[in-house]
Amino acid sequence: QVQLVESGGGLVQAGGSLRLSCATSGGTFSSYSMGWFRQAPGKEREFVAAITWSGGSTGYADSVKGRFTISRDNAKNTVYLQMVSLKPEDTAVYYCAAKWGSVSGSYNQYNYWGQGTQVTVSS
């Protein structure tokens, strides 16, 4: 059973930074493509960023390009999301997810999910 645990969320002022972490266990981390998604109140879950199993390729939602960076450390079984220049509209619960095969921006293609971590950006 693969488990994902996010951490690093919190309250930050607009323009600030946060780094989210997602630690995995129970599976072969280096076999999975990893993604970050977010869900704001009253909205659907949306894609944020994804990274291939090797870390050699990444993808981002247009809304976060240039501000967020996804990375992974396969030795630590952990994926990260560095967020800078945060905006109030980035406020959401952030989830990490894992899937076999290639990266995807579709949440229904991911096999495993964490419980989420709250990010709140004040104006």
Q: What is the pLDDT of residues 48-75, one digit of tens each?
A: 999 999 888 999 999 999 999 999 999 9
The rounded distance, in Å, linking the Cα atoms of 123 and 112 is: 33
| Residue 31, CA distances (Å) to 2, 23, 41, 87 in order | 12, 14, 32, 33
What is the mean pLDDT of each successive set of 10 residues along the chain, which is 123 residues long? 95 98 90 96 96 92 98 95 98 96 91 97 96
Q: What is the pLDDT of residue 101?
A: 87
**CB of 26 within 8 A of CB of 36?**
no
